[in-house]
Structure 1
Amino acid sequence: MTTRLAYGASVAAMAAALGAAWPALAQTGTQVEEIIVTAQRVEENLQDAPVAVTAFSAAALARSNVETLDDIAIRTPGFSMGKVDPIQQNFAIRGIGSAQGISQNAGGDPSVVLFVDGIYAGRGGAPDLDALDLERVEVLRGPQGTLFGKNTIGGLVQFVTRKPDDEPALRIQGQLGNYDRRAFNIRGNLPISETLAVAGGASIKKRDGYEFNETTGNRVNNEDLRTAHAALRFRPTDALDVVLAFDVTDQDQKGNPRDNICPTSFNNGVHCVGVNPDPRITNAYTDGVMRRLLKTYRAEVNWKTPVGTLTSITGLRDVKLNYVTPFFANPVNPPTQIESTETGYEKNQQFSQEVRLAFDLMDARLRGQVGAYFLTEDINRTAWLLQQFPAPAQTGLATYPQAVDSKSTALFGQLSYDILPSLTATVGARMTWEEKEGHFIGRKISGPGRPPPLGAEDYDVTADESWKAFTPRFALDWKPTDDILLYASAARGFKSGGFQGTAGTAASQSTPYDPEFAWSYEAGAKTQWLDNRLRLNLAMFRTDYKDLQVSQLVPLCCVVVGNAATAKIEGAELEFVARPFDGFQIDGSYAWLNAKFESFATGATANYSGNRLPRSPEDKINIGVQYETELAGGWGVLARVDYSNQSKMYFEASNIPQQKQEGYINWDGRIAVSSPDDRWEVAVWGKNLSDELVATYVTYFGLFRQTLVPYQPPRTYGVTLTWRM
């Protein structure tokens, strides 16, 4: 562990100890916030859920000025996030994430999945947080193969939206910031009758680009985003609750050309000849394009019957993506201009249906749920690859259309039985059947060369494959007191197999890669102390992976997904919240992660056994400090600072220096002043205050000794004005 991380861990331990030792005070304002979660598909207190889950309430999201999934990832132990660009994201939890390039592959799936109100969101990226009136966000760590199932082998992120209710409400918010940031958001709730209520909202966000393209004279990596949502809730009786909801995210902005560095790692390297050394200035021949239109239709029905609560969740997602990415558009050594551009279009339609019954028997001594799940996806994707090199034999344009139909069907159930009033045993299982059928084309359009690979022949193939998996879970939890929960569990996870994206040959394209499986063993404690003024939660785990899917960049060819033999992951995570006196809170987490390939030989010369898994930093710490007080006249002030420190990590299994992100620190801060009637609030905020340069994705072309990098946002700051009815 680095000296800074060791110091940070000591600070967290000291804060927890101070909270535990603080003398008893009046309870007003000193209680740790209670959070209800649905980590086990039923509502329960976070401290009663025997699983590793980090939850952010709507109030916590506002206090930390959380606006994106990046903000959530940096505050969650074991959770890291990479982005090819702002609409193609890769999540990793406890070292397990999507193979790089999966987002650009119609035949592949993620390892960490996003759910919105229980609906699987596999492709097209996450909706903007302003597209949803969030009640909370939950991050579940480790395989969730029993109750959630579909490709949740690494974990999942769950957005839970606020349902329309009986209280009229209106909130209007405006924001200004550097890079000419302008944002406006409105949301409201209106009860129409005793049985009917509606809610809705809309937002618009605009911002100049974080980078400047010297070739075109334009700022790139900007933001132009519009969202809207609407929901209707109908409760004709005490037993029936129906919610219909819709949200849309419309994104239309310039691309984010890569920074170009030669010849070592991007952290210590020098820029190529002819390239501006400023990492926020690029030299691409085109700005690129990012266009996304995401629509989601949701229906949830809860019906209380004599045998339990019957829940039906229906989801329809429609996604359209367009992008132009100049990922390789700079001089090389020796200085010669080359251009490589990927243009893509994708249309994805997804339908899912889940039905489950939650019940309790024997005076609630036996509790459980059973259900069935069906998902179908229709994915049509076309990629055009343009390659313009000095050598004519390496110049050309190729297209790679893909059409994939995917189906997933599952039966699942889980039972919990109180052996003693304080001791509970849980057994669950899921049986999943999956199939994929695809039509894949690789065709050279022009030029003597063919990107990728050079000299390849055209192909037009169809392929199909099916898989099945049994994913059980066993758990035991003991509650010796009302404030302490101890648990141990063993769970199996499964991720579907798939097909390549832009394969080099017909044989490679028509040959599927295998599913991956994992057994995870976890022990944890959830504790509250001093009348709930201090919360300490601990999880320790080990995960054994088989046939882990890993992507590799093949020189002058393509990104190929294959199965690494085995991987072993060990780690521990500590989370705490302390409120030692009225108005003051310190919270945070520390995660230690040892994620390595046990056996991974990629050929006669490359053996990655013993290397760290991509996007798996060994140490990660977060500390938040906030203070809230009331001034004369009833004006309220809340100040908060968030600190995070993450050790180095690699973006690729080879663990070469060119693919490494060095450890970095992030500081965020926010000060808010609210009126005596709580209707008005003005907040001044800043993010990445130390202006760290952090990569979101790294592509290393060893043949040309170049590293291509997009970056996280630089230092940003602004002011937000909010009015509430």
Structure 2
Amino acid sequence: MTTRLAYGVSAAAMAAVLGAAAPAFAQSGAEVEEIVVTAQRVEENLQDAPVAVTAFSAAALERSNVETLDDVAIRTPGFSMGKVDPIQQNFAIRGIGSAQGISQNAGGDPSVVVFVDGVYAGRGGTPDLDALDLERVEVLRGPQGTLFGKNTIGGLVQFVTRKPGRDPALRIQGQLGNYDRRAINVRGNLPISDTLSVAGGVSIKKRDGYELNETTGNHVNNEDLKSLHAALRYAPSDALDVVLSYDVADQDQRGNPRDNICDTTFQGGIHCVGVNPDPRVMNAYTDGVMRRLLKTYRAEVNWQTPFGTLTSLTGYRDVKLNYVTPFFSNPVNPPAQIESTETGYEKDQQFSQEFRLAFDLLDERLRGQVGAYFLTEDINRTAWLLQQFPAPAQTGFATYPQAVDSKSTALFGQLSYDILPELTATVGARMTWEEKEGHFIGRKISGPGQPPPLGADYDVRAEEKWHAFTPRFALDWKPMDQVLVYASAARGFKSGGFQGTAGTAASQSTPYDPEFAWSYEVGAKTQWLANRLRLNLALFKTDYKDLQVSQLVPLCCVVVGNAATAKIEGAELEFVVRPFDGFQIDGSYAWLNAKFESFANGAQNNYSGNRLPRSPEDKINIGVQYDTELAGGWSLLARVDYSNQSKMYFEASNTPQQKQQGYINWDGRVALSSPDDRWEVAVWGKNLSDELVATYVTYFGLYRQTLVPYTPPRTYGVTLTWKM
């Protein structure tokens, strides 16, 4: 079932069944879970927020065994995710996303941003979800250019951690699974006094790799991740609340060589010699390396003043990343084979400061917030590219050091006014000033010829400034207590930048421009049957211009340019229903039509009308769970999650080689809890149908080779939890 018609029929049928069955179960069901979100930078009920947001509470994350952002993406309408490797991630929301991992380019930025407790997490990935002790995860869809600002043109993901509290708590969890998975997670909260409390968590995860590198005999794409989270809260009065937190993630594991899908008919298949056709077996001459050390410091101060709540958010991130990635995954042995290896080292230091004042006037008829924001990033990155080809002129070793200083400053505000008790108008705006300056070097180290992508050695300096005005207008109407209807128009902005590994000095020193998008949305958030049935709907259209598109130039490099305009339209439906005590069905359906309106890539290629990368037309997710009490006070909770996504492309050309076919995913979890609720043992499985799904595709048309890393195969295990 991968067509729009089939998906639409499924979603409509589900809604019809729920509506028809409603009177029968209205008297016996329990209420759906209420979730508080900060999608508008203030706490409010999910159903009262006039924006498209999907939220997962801590309990929902545990019930579905959500451990990574991949798990979040597969359960969120309009959200797709890929990976260049386990660290460099690509997010796309409603078809808007970066075409390559931002760590591959010191002068580039993402289109979908992660925030941790309100702090922008630009480069180097995010802390481990398990160690953070999350209170919830929020996914905001569509441009968020007013209140969140920087590079949130596609949307954002927000991690909200649990603040230290006055109740002592301890939770210890151990896990065993296939591929020799071993994990332990400890979280705790300790009140020191009436005004001071601390909380923290530590997580250690290890497992063998999902793929075998036949050349070395090692399993690659393994996991070795250690994470720590610590927080201190000082609340001397109701007027002052200070939270200081620290996170560290230490990742040290083997690399992620690509599966080499060879065209054996090309040149007699000589370039496929020694390549194993099994997609989980690699033939790289080296395993590669993935190492990351991420440290984050955050300070949040909330002060109740006579004018409103003044919030200060301070963040500092220090990231060290290095990797070795063999791309072609075939040994360089006679007969001559093709191999390309990228080695990279990056150090990123980021500081951000935000001040925000939230207030209400006129007996709360007028509510608003104003603020100022500043961010600076100091990025030092060096890439080494080794290319070993049959032709000597194409063989060589080159280095590409980059140093980029980036600054972003913004003033913003938003006001909401109750025209009538049930009718509210909102207007907001943000003015952003950005600048980037960099020092870029391309230098040949060795080789008989000039190694691609380097056309000639260069050493250049470049700088550029941009500014953007991103307003938002909205109107929401609440005709009854459990129904909210809204309409909005918002503008998004993504910063311009510089190339990663450019082939020439001219290309490297020429910046590409920012992206802009206007998004129009109407939606409804409703709850029925005494809060036992929730139905939320969003319809949207986005006009996109100056789209930054990454294109692979054969025997050169990945080039980013402002090549296109795009039109995006779609619909998203989310529902939760509890027909009777202990039983719940929840899910979503998304239809997305995201296409290039105008995109002429040179004289030979016109991509107008092609689908945007990572924008599946249809995506459905359904979760079914049941919990009940057993004899002796024990309780059982069982949950199954089903998702079905239609085909999508990884590149603007929409070639068949760069397409991920539609696929189905099944996850499941069964948990047994003791009468005192202190012990729980859970058996779980992910990707139970063992689908082979690409996370990223690179196609070298000149050699007819397709290079692919994949998501995990079928995994399963058991988790034991003790808590007090």
| 2:535 matched residue in structure 1 | 536
Matches for 1:426-441 after TM superposition, within 5 Å = 426-441=426-441
Aligned to 1:471: 470
For 2:301 and 2:413, locate their aligned partners in 1 and report how far apart those are by CA, in whole Å: 19
Q: Which residue of 2 aligns with 1:672?
A: 671
Q: CA deviation at 1:335?
A: 6.0
Matches within 5 A, 1:464-543: 464-543=463-542
Where 1:60 maps in the other structure, the secondary structure is: helix
Distance 1:35 1:476 in 2: 22
Task: Give the distance between the partners of 1:556 and 1:56, measured in 2 at CA.
Answer: 44
Aligned counterparts of 2:126 and 2:356: Cα–Cα separation in 1: 25
What SS class does the counterpart of residue 22 from structure 1 fall into? helix
Matches of 1:644 and 1:244, distance apart in 2: 38
Instruction: Measure how far apart 1:332 and its partner are.
Output: 10
Question: Would the aligned equivalents of 1:333 and 1:704 in 2 still touch at CA under 8 Å?
Answer: no
**SS of equivalent to 1:609:** coil
For residues 144-181 of structure 1, give each alpha carbon's deviation from its aligned partner in whole angstroms, at most 9, with x where no partner exists: 00000000000000000000001100000000000000
The answer to whether the 8 A contact 1:18-1:580 is kept is no
Deviations 1:217-236 (A, max 9, x none): 00000000000010000011
What is the rounded CA distance, in whole Å, between the counterparts of 2:449 and 2:90 in structure 1?
A: 31
Structure 1: distance between partners of 2:358 and 2:185: 37
> Aligned residue for 2:122?
122
Instruction: From the superposition, tell whether residues 242 and 172 of structure 1 become closer, same or farther in structure 2 (CA, over 3 Å).
Output: same
Alpha-carbon shift at residue 330 of structure 1 (Å): 1.9
Residues 406 and 437, structure 1, Cα contact 8 Å, conserved in 2 = yes
Shift in Å, 1:10: 4.7
What is the deviation of 1:331? 6.7
For the pair 1:279 / 2:241, whether they are aligned, the reply is no
Residue type matched to 1:59 in 2?
A
Q: Which amino acid aligns with 1:440?
A: F
Aligned residue in 2 for 1:171? 171
Backbone CA RMSD of aligned residues: 1.7
Determine the structure 1 residue equivalent to 2:26.
24
Kept in 2: contact 1:548–1:564 (CA 8 A): yes
1:624 partnered with 2:626:
no
Preserved CA contact (<8 Å) 2:264 2:272: no
Residue in structure 2 matched with residue 186 of structure 1 by the alignment? 186
Whether the aligned pair in 1 keeps the contact of 2:131 and 2:185 (CA below 8 Å) is: no
Secondary structure at 1:578 match in 2:
strand
Instruction: State the partner residue of 1:461.
Output: 460
- 2:26·2:532 contact (CA, 8 Å) conserved in 1? no
Query: 5 Å matches for 1:506-655?
Result: 506-655=505-654
Deviation at 1:339, TM superposition (A): 1.6
Is residue 107 from structure 1 mapped to residue 107 from structure 2 by the alignment? yes
Aligned residue identity for 1:156: L
2:144 and 2:711 mapped to 1: Cα distance?
A: 29
Per-residue displacement from partner, 1:439-489 (whole Å, max 9, x unpaired)?
0000000012333226x1100000000000000000000000000000000
Distance 1:378 1:460 in 2: 19
Distance 1:243 1:695, change over 3 A: same
Runs of 4+ with >4 A deviation:
331-335
Aligned to 2:357: 357
CA drift at 1:433: 0.1
The CA distance in 1 between the partners of 2:611 and 2:403, in whole Å, is: 34
Partner of 1:691: 690
- Tell me, yes or no, if structure 1 residue 70 matches structure 2 residue 76: no
Over residues 1-24 of structure 1, what are the superposed CA-to-partner deviations in whole Å (9 max), with x where a residue is unaligned?
Answer: 267535643553345335534343
Answer yes or no: is the 8 Å Cα contact 2:84–2:696 preserved in 1.
Answer: yes
- 2:495 maps to amino acid: S
Distance 2:13 2:336 in 1: 51
Q: Judging changes above 3 Å, is the alpha-carbon distance between structure 1 residues 309 and 280 closer, same or farther for their aligned structure 2 residues?
A: same
Cα drift, residue 238 of structure 1? 1.1
Deviation at residue 264 of structure 1 after TM alignment: 9.8
Asked whether the equivalents of residues 270 and 335 of structure 2 are also in contact (C-alpha less than 8 Å), the reply is no
Contact 1:264 1:658 in 2 (8 A): no
Equivalent residues of 2:260, 2:707 under 8 A apart: yes
- The C-alpha deviation readout for 1:615-651, integer Å capped at 9, x for no partner, is 0000000000000000011100000000000000000
Q: Secondary structure at the match of 1:393?
A: helix
Cross-structure match for 1:255: 255
Structure 1 counterpart of 2:571, which letter? Answer: A
Separation in 2 of the partners of 1:653 and 1:620?
20
Task: After TM superposition, list the pairs within 5 Å mapping 1:371-382 onto structure 2.
Answer: 371-382=371-382
CA contact 2:248–2:295 (8 Å) conserved in 1: yes
- Name the SS for the 1:418 alignment partner: strand
- Contact 1:549-1:563 at 8 Å conserved across structures: yes
Asked if 1 retains the 8 angstrom alpha-carbon contact of 2:452 and 2:556, the reply is yes
How does 1:92-491 map onto structure 2 within 5 Å? 92-263=92-263, 272-330=272-330, 336-453=336-453, 456-491=455-490
C-alpha contact (below 8 Å) 1:272/1:332 kept by paired residues: no
Could you give the per-residue CA deviations for residues 367-409 of structure 1, whole angstroms, max 9, x where no partner exists?
0000000000000000000011122211110000000000000
Maintained 8 Å contact 2:282/2:329: no
Give me the whole-angstrom Cα distance separating, in 2, the residues matched to 1:622 and 1:688. Answer: 14
Point out where structure 1 has 5 or more consecutive residues left out of the alignment: none
Structure 2 residues not aligned, in runs of 5+? none
Paired AA for residue 487 in structure 1: Y
Residue type matched to 1:13 in 2? A
CA distance in 1, matches of 2:449, 2:569: 46
SS of residue in 2 equivalent to 1:71: helix
Does the 8 Å CA contact 2:649/2:658 hold for their aligned counterparts?
yes
Q: TM-score, normalised by structure 1?
A: 0.97
CA distance in structure 2 between the aligned counterparts of 1:473 and 1:509, rounded to whole angstroms:
35
How many residues are matched? 719
Structure 1: distance between partners of 2:221 and 2:689: 20
Per the alignment, residue 717 of structure 1 pairs with 716
The separation in 2 between residues aligned to 1:452 and 1:544, in whole angstroms, is 37
Distance 1:172 1:409 in 2: 42
